DNA sequence: AGAATCACG
DNA sequence: ACGTACGTGATTCTA
């Protein structure tokens, strides 16, 4: 009498089956971080079914350990024609293992053996033990050879969860032989999919006939003279080696050196906490609800009952005393200039919505929005703040910003659209703006329609309902402080900076513009003469034709579509033909003209002569800001001609100064701090020139040797390379040294800065284990490609793993500094105007210059406490150009 | 709409 | 062997 039931699962083959069963909906199975989840999903569905059907007492999932096994040693071509496992599947394997663990199931793999052999060995042990009944779950018919009185083999059929159950009787009915004879049949016929041959011209039918007649391969050869058919006999004799080898290859090992004991395999059942987390991470709603942890059910948005807000029911708003959710709709992304077209306000099941914008400034509405007692839930606090500010309302006490929280939880798939974000967090039935308003030229908002009112009230309700759940997520990620102490605060700091704006003198730009125009006309004529014809210099295609087809200059680089004519190529070609230098000059000036002269002139507000950029707070993957409409983070500085553009950026009051303070080497200081590298930290503590010190170290100079500018330049490139997640190829490409030399530099670098080397290794391991990396403030970036089989994708993810904590921590630091700065500047007239990643720009009245000289650097360098000090450098002058 | 180019940190 | 530096935005050309 058996008391125990052992379930043995062939992990790889079930994962493959699951993956190919769902191949047509591959892209529908993706989680927040872009990971494909189809095989994980299918695998779990299969687990559910078999656990339910079989109710095992003990379970093990066996995995293949790697490509090489004793079979490949015996026959190197074994499985040699298998296509590479697609990335979309291989990236899922680590998660399938995690799933198995969270479901309370042991897994095992054994180098040199396939999962089959582990299963065969354990099944044999269990049969010998006597107390066990064994069930094997696989996608591979080969395992049916293990069928016995005590062991059934269940093979999953493609495309369904249905299983084909093999008992000894079923094997005989279906195959006409005993389970133990399956390997003899395979020996004679070989196996195409595993890529090993048997006997020539012997297929399924002949093999079966022979084995039925004689019993085994050995018996066939014993009785070789009794075989009818001259050709058959000849083939059998010729391929005897192959047949015997094929039988060995097909035979599952039943005595593999498996280290797990039967006692270790008790089925523990689901680890609810872990499994809930896992399902949430995967976005498995149906599995979550099966667990009874039905979080999404509460989040599901049903029909929203709402009233149209009018002067008549305005007083009903007084019912909201503690908390409201609010959505302000605008007809364009640029909230500095867009029209306000409607708003929705409410909480729980009380909702009000309107397109009558006069009601926004009515007392009951203003009282709520500017109340410090009533908490506000919004989507995009900065946008909402600026929008309300334009009608004279100050938004106070924002608790939940759904856009920000969603971004912090996962930067990858973040969106500015409530509907899209809501979908990411479990709401299925909310429309996106694009669905309601259309897109591109066809976009049209019709504020008077019921559809419009319904849409924005749904958005507000989604914010209201997701608020607790998303805060819980944030807490689980250990990101609550990041949100409350940094992100929500910086939103208002940025809002104020954007509203303040920076004054740009249009006359300065126009004067520069007319000079550029003349220069462009001159250079254009020269280029046409040199080319012998007129053409569009701005067209890479036409320019390529002139340079490479007509003038036959050497083709150094190609793009997808033709010849590359980028700066690095043209600089190399410049000595060959004078036209090239002229093209470079033309390019440079036309860039300045179109982007910075014409571009800026277009966005100067005529009333205050200022530009009001928008900082995108939820876009970058590292936590940096970006700046649009206009982008004030890429105003020229590197070339003197371009730098002149900065003369147009001036203080908004006469006699004031433009002030600029920047962190010196912030990324390398962060690197020194988080890697803990003693040598690099020493350099910063001693106030050394880090690039010179690096040069001394990697080039092995004595302490009194002079570091030539060239050596310093090379060392600087290596320092940068390290921050970007270096490779010899990349370094070589970017600095013009040979790859071999680059390799040598990096080797020396890691010898001199061993802490940095260890960090680069550790951080990649961390990313592989956790699927993400973090900054000092727990900002997270998911890196699903870290598991990719595709070298490019994986390498990119590895470099990102190294770079993101550096770049992102630097971003954290300046954000903290900005928040502190806003407070520190409260008693002053000095205003913070711009942020350019490691630099802050201010306008300062003359009489506060002495104060800010100390104050601004002090606030910046005390933002965080690192292992080494932060250094701040400041410059000021009557224009941005002069602040140098 | 996407590619190429070039502006910044 | 594989083939690349990290993070952005604006403009222009081209399909």
**Three-class DSSP labels, A401-439:** EHHHHHHHHCCCCCCCCHHHHHHHCCCCCCCCHHHHHCC
Whole-angstrom distance, CA of residue A773 vs CA of residue A244: 52
Query: If we measure between CA atoms, which residue out of A41, A53, A48, A49 comes closest to residue A17?
Result: A41
Whole-angstrom distance, CA of residue A617 vs CA of residue A385: 14
Cβ–Cβ contacts within 10 Å for residue A60, how many?
24
Whole-angstrom distance, CA of residue A759 vs CA of residue A803: 11
| Number of alpha carbons in the 13 Å side-chain half-sphere of residue A280 | 20
Residue A800, CB, less than 7 Å from strand C? Answer: yes
Helix axes A728-735, A709-724, angle to 10 degrees: 140
Whole-angstrom distance, CA of residue A531 vs CA of residue A873: 48
Q: Return the CATH fold of A668-776+785-791.
A: DNA polymerase; domain 1 (1.10.150)
Chain A window 728-757, residues with Cβ within 7 A of nucleic strand C? 728-731, 733-735
Cβ–Cβ contacts within 10 Å for residue A538, how many?
11
CA end-to-end span of chain A: 89
Query: If we measure between CA atoms, which residue out of A326, A337, A331 comes closest to residue A614?
Result: A337
CB-based contact A365:A353 (threshold 8 Å): no
Report the nucleotide nearest the CA of residue A439, measured to C1'.
B1
- Strand (E) positions, A522-644? 610-611, 614-616, 626-628
Please give the DSSP secondary-structure letter assigned to residue A191. Answer: E
Cβ–Cβ contacts within 10 Å for residue A18, how many?
25
- A627 bridge partner residues: A615
**The dihedral of CA A324, A329, A330, A333: what is its sign?**
positive
CB-based contact A324:A481 (threshold 8 Å): no
Please give the DSSP secondary-structure letter assigned to residue A256. Answer: -
Q: What share of chain A is helix, strand, coil (3-state, %, to 5)?
A: 55, 15, 30
Tokens of A257: 């050196």
Give the C-alpha distances (Å, rounded to integers) separating A5 from A59, A122, A346.
8, 13, 56
Radius of gyration of chain A (CA): 35
Distance, Å, A599 CA → B1 C1': 22
Tokens of A299: 């989040």
- Strand (E) positions, A18-105? 58-63
Could you tell me which CATH number the domain at A1-167+261-288 has?
3.40.50.1010
- A6 bridge partner residues: A58, A134
Coil, helix or strand at residue A399: strand
**Nearest amino-acid residue to C8, taking CA and C1':** A626
Please give the DSSP secondary-structure letter assigned to residue A170. Answer: H
Whole-angstrom distance, CA of residue A665 vs CA of residue A723: 11
CB-based contact A411:A781 (threshold 8 Å): yes
Polymer length in residues for chain A: 884
Write out the H or E segment, with its range, that includes residue A748: helix A739-752
Query: If we measure between CA atoms, which residue out of A126, A148, A156, A112 comes closest to residue A9?
Result: A156
pTM: 0.73
The position carrying tokens 């126009």 is A510
Q: Return the CATH fold of A506-608.
A: Taq DNA Polymerase; Chain T, domain 4 (1.20.1060)
Residue A574, CB, less than 7 Å from strand B? Answer: no
Residue A278, CB, less than 7 Å from strand C? Answer: no
CB-based contact A838:A662 (threshold 8 Å): yes
Whole-angstrom distance, CA of residue A766 vs CA of residue A727: 19
Distance, Å, A75 CA → C3 C1': 32
Report the nucleotide nearest the CA of residue A667, measured to C1'.
B9
**Nearest amino-acid residue to C10, taking CA and C1':** A595
For chain A, what is the total number of helices (H) and then of strands (E)? 38, 25
Long-range contacts from A733-742, C-beta under 8 angstroms, 24+ separation? none
Distance, Å, A560 CA → B4 C1': 10
Query: If we measure between CA atoms, which residue out of A711, A795, A726, A792 comes closest to residue A759?
Result: A726
Residue A628, CB, less than 7 Å from strand B? Answer: no
Residue A668, CB, less than 7 Å from strand C? Answer: no
How high is the pLDDT of residue A300? 52
Query: If we measure between CA atoms, which residue out of A267, A196, A13, A46 comes closest to residue A116?
Result: A13
Report the nucleotide nearest the CA of residue A598, measured to C1'.
C11
Tokens of A840: 């802050």
Tokens of A354: 């309107």
Every domain range in chain A assigned CATH 3.40.50.1010:
1-167+261-288
Whole-angstrom distance, CA of residue A172 vs CA of residue A508: 93
CB-based contact A513:A401 (threshold 8 Å): no
Residue A539, CB, less than 7 Å from strand C? Answer: yes
Q: In sequence order, which residues have a C-beta less than 8 Å from that of residue A470 and are 6 or more positions away?
A: A400, A402, A405, A406, A409, A425
Instruction: Provide the H-helix boundaries in A545-626.
Output: 567-573, 578-591, 599-603
Q: Return the CATH fold of A177-251.
A: DNA polymerase; domain 1 (1.10.150)
Which of the nucleotides in strand C have any atom less than 7 Å away from a protein CB atom? 1-15
Coil, helix or strand at residue A176: coil
Residue A570, CB, less than 7 Å from strand B? Answer: yes
Distance, Å, A709 CA → B8 C1': 24
Distance, Å, A751 CA → C7 C1': 28
**Nearest amino-acid residue to C3, taking CA and C1':** A792
Whole-angstrom distance, CA of residue A734 vs CA of residue A6: 59
Tokens of A118: 């582990």
Q: What are phi and psi of A636, to 5 degrees?
A: -55, 145
Chain A window 837-866, residues with Cβ within 7 A of nucleic strand C? 837
Residue A440, CB, less than 7 Å from strand B? Answer: yes
The top-level CATH class assigned to A297-477 is alpha beta
The position carrying tokens 């600095």 is A735
Query: If we measure between CA atoms, which residue out of A195, A203, A178 comes closest to residue A246?
Result: A195
Residue A559, CB, less than 7 Å from strand B? Answer: yes
Residue A638, CB, less than 7 Å from strand B? Answer: yes
**Nearest amino-acid residue to C1, taking CA and C1':** A791
Every domain range in chain A assigned CATH 3.30.420.10:
297-477
**Nearest amino-acid residue to B9, taking CA and C1':** A837
Give the C-alpha distances (Å, rounded to integers) separating A434 from A326, A329, A382, A439, A441.
20, 14, 22, 6, 12
- A266 bridge partner residues: A58
Distance, Å, A75 CA → C1 C1': 23
**The dihedral of CA A583, A585, A587, A590: what is its sign?**
negative
Q: In sequence order, which residues have a C-beta less than 8 Å from that of residue A763 and are 6 or more positions away?
A: A773, A801, A802, A805
- A343 bridge partner residues: A328, A354
Q: DSSP string covering A823-869, please?
A: HHHTTSS-EEEEE-SSEEEEEE-GGGHHHHHHHHHHHHHTSS--SS-
Whole-angstrom distance, CA of residue A853 vs CA of residue A34: 47
Residue A636, CB, less than 7 Å from strand B? Answer: yes
Cβ–Cβ contacts within 10 Å for residue A193, how many?
10
Which of the nucleotides in strand B have any atom less than 7 Å away from a protein CB atom? 1, 3-9
Every domain range in chain A assigned CATH 1.20.1060.10:
506-608
Q: In sequence order, which residues have a C-beta less than 8 Å from that of residue A469 and are 6 or more positions away?
A: A295, A298, A299, A425, A426
Whole-angstrom distance, CA of residue A98 vs CA of residue A116: 21
Report the nucleotide nearest the CA of residue A803, measured to C1'.
C6
Distance, Å, A394 CA → C12 C1': 41
Q: DSSP string covering A87-146, please?
A: HHHHTTHHHHHHHHHHTT-EEEE-TBS-HHHHHHHHHHHHHHHSSEEEEEEES-GGGGGG
Chain A window 267-306, residues with Cβ within 7 A of nucleic strand B? none
Every domain range in chain A assigned CATH 1.10.150.20:
177-251, 668-776+785-791
Residue A198, Cβ density class (10 Å: 0-12 exposed, 13-18 middle, ≥19 buried): buried
Chain A window 598-627, residues with Cβ within 7 A of nucleic strand C? 598-599, 602, 616, 619-622, 624, 626-627
Whole-angstrom distance, CA of residue A862 vs CA of residue A29: 46
Residue A541, CB, less than 7 Å from strand B? Answer: no
Query: If we measure between CA atoms, which residue out of A610, A633, A590 comes closest to residue A811?
Result: A633
Low-confidence stretches of chain A (pLDDT < 50) are 294-299
Residue A540, CB, less than 7 Å from strand B? Answer: yes
Q: Are strands A375-378 and A398-401 parallel, antiparallel or unpaired?
A: parallel
How high is the pLDDT of residue A296? 42
Residue A558, CB, less than 7 Å from strand C? Answer: no
The position carrying tokens 């989040």 is A299
Report the nucleotide nearest the CA of residue A543, measured to C1'.
C13
Residue A807, CB, less than 7 Å from strand B? Answer: yes
Coil, helix or strand at residue A287: helix
């Amino acid at each position: 009498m058996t008391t125990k039931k052992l379930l043995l699962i062939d992990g790889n083959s079930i994962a493959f089956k699951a993956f190919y069963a769902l191949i047509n909906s591959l892209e529908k199975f993706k989680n927040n971080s872009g990971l494909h989840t189809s095989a994980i999903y299918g695998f779990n569905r299969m687990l559910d079914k078999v656990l339910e059907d079989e109710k095992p007492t003990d379970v093990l999932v066996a995995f293949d350990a790697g490509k090489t096994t004793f079979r490949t040693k015996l026959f190197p071509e074994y499985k040699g024609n298998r296509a590479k496992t697609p990335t979309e599947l291989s990236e899922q394997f680590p998660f399938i293992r995690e799933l198995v663990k969270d479901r309370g199931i042991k897994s095992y793999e054994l180098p040199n053996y396939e999962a089959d052999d582990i299963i065969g060995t354990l099944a044999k042990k269990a049969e010998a033990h006597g107390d066990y009944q064994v069930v094997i779950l696989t996608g591979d018919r080969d395992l049916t050879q293990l069928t016995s009185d005590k062991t059934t083999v269940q093979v999953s059929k493609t495309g369904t969860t249905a299983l084909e159950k093999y008992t000894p009787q079923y094997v005989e009915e279906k195959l006409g032989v005993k389970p133990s004879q399956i390997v003899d049949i395979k020996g004679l016929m070989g196996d195409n999919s595993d890529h090993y041959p048997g006997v020539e011209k012997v297929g399924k039918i002949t093999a079966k006939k022979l084995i039925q007649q004689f019993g085994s391969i050995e018996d066939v050869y014993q009785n070789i003279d009794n075989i009818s058919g001259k050709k058959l006999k000849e083939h059998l004799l010729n391929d005897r080696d192959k047949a015997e080898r094929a039988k060995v290859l097909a035979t599952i090992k039943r005595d593999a050196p498996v280290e797990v004991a039967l006692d270790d395999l008790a089925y523990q059942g689901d680890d609810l906490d872990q499994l809930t987390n896992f399902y949430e991470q995967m976005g498995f709603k149906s599995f979550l609800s099966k667990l009874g942890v039905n979080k999404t059910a509460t989040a599901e948005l049903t029909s929203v009952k709402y009233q149209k807000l009018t002067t008549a029911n305005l007083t009903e708003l007084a019912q909201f005393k503690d908390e409201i959710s609010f959505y302000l709709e605008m007809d364009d992304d640029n909230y500095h200039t867009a029209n306000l077209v409607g708003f929705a306000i409410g909480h729980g099941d009380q909702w009000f919505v309107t397109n009558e914008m006069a009601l926004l400034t009515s007392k009951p509405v203003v009282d709520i929005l500017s109340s410090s007692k009533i908490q506000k839930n919004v989507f995009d606090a900065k946008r909402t703040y600026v929008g309300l500010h334009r009608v004279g309302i100050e938004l106070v006490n924002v608790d939940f910003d759904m856009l920000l929280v969603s971004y912090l939880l996962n930067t990858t798939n973040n969106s500015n659209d409530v509907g899209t974000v809501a979908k990411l967090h479990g709401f299925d039935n909310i429309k996106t703006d694009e669905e309601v308003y259309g897109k591109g030229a066809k976009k049209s908002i019709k504020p008077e329609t019921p559809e419009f009112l319904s849409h924005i009230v749904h958005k507000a309700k989604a914010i209201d309902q997701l608020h607790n759940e998303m805060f819980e997520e944030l807490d689980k990620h250990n990101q609550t402080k990041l949100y409350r102490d940094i992100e929500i605060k910086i939103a208002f700091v940025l809002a104020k900076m954007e509203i303040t704006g920076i004054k740009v003198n249009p006359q300065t730009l126009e004067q520069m513009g007319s000079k550029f125009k003349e220069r462009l006309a001159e250079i254009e004529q020269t280029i046409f003469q040199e080319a012998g014809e007129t053409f569009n210099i701005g067209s890479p295609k036409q320019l390529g034709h002139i340079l490479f087809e007509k003038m036959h200059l050497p083709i150094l680089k190609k793009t997808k579509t033709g010849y590359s004519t980028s700066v690095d190529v043209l600089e190399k070609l410049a000595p060959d033909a004078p036209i090239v230098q002229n093209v470079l000059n033309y390019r440079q000036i036309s860039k300045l003209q179109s982007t910075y002269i014409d571009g800026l002139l277009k966005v100067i507000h005529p009333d205050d002569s200022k530009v009001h950029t928008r900082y995108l707070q939820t876009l970058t993957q590292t936590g940096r800001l970006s700046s649009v409409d206009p982008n004030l983070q890429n105003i020229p500085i590197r070339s003197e001609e371009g730098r002149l553009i900065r003369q147009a950026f001036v203080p908004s009051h006469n006699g004031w100064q433009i002030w600029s303070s920047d962190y010196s080497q912030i990324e390398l200081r962060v690197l020194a701090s988080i890697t803990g590298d003693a040598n690099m930290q020493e350099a910063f503590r001693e106030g050394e020139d880090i690039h010179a010190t690096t040069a001394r170290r990697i080039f092995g100079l004595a302490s009194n040797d002079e570091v030539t500018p060239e050596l310093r330049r090379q060392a600087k490139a290596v320092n940068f390379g390290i921050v970007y997640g270096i490779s010899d190829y990349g370094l070589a490409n970017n600095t013009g040294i040979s790859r071999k030399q680059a390799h040598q530099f990096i080797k020396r670098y890691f010898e001199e800065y061993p802490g940095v080397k260890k960090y680069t290794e550790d951080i990649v391991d961390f990313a592989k284990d956790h699927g993400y990396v973090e900054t000092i403030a727990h900002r997270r970036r998911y890196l699903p490609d870290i598991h990719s089989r595709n070298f490019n994708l994986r390498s990119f993810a590895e470099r990102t793993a190294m770079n993101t904590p550096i770049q992102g921590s630097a971003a954290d630091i300046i954000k903290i500094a900005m928040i502190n700065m806003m407070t520190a500047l409260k008693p002053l007239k000095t205003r913070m105007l711009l942020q350019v990643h490691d630099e802050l720009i201010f306008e300062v009245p003359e009489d506060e210059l002495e104060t800010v000289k100390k104050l601004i650097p002090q606030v910046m360098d005390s933002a965080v406490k690192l292992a080494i000090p932060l250094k701040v450098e400041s410059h000021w002058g009557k224009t941005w150009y002069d602040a140098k």
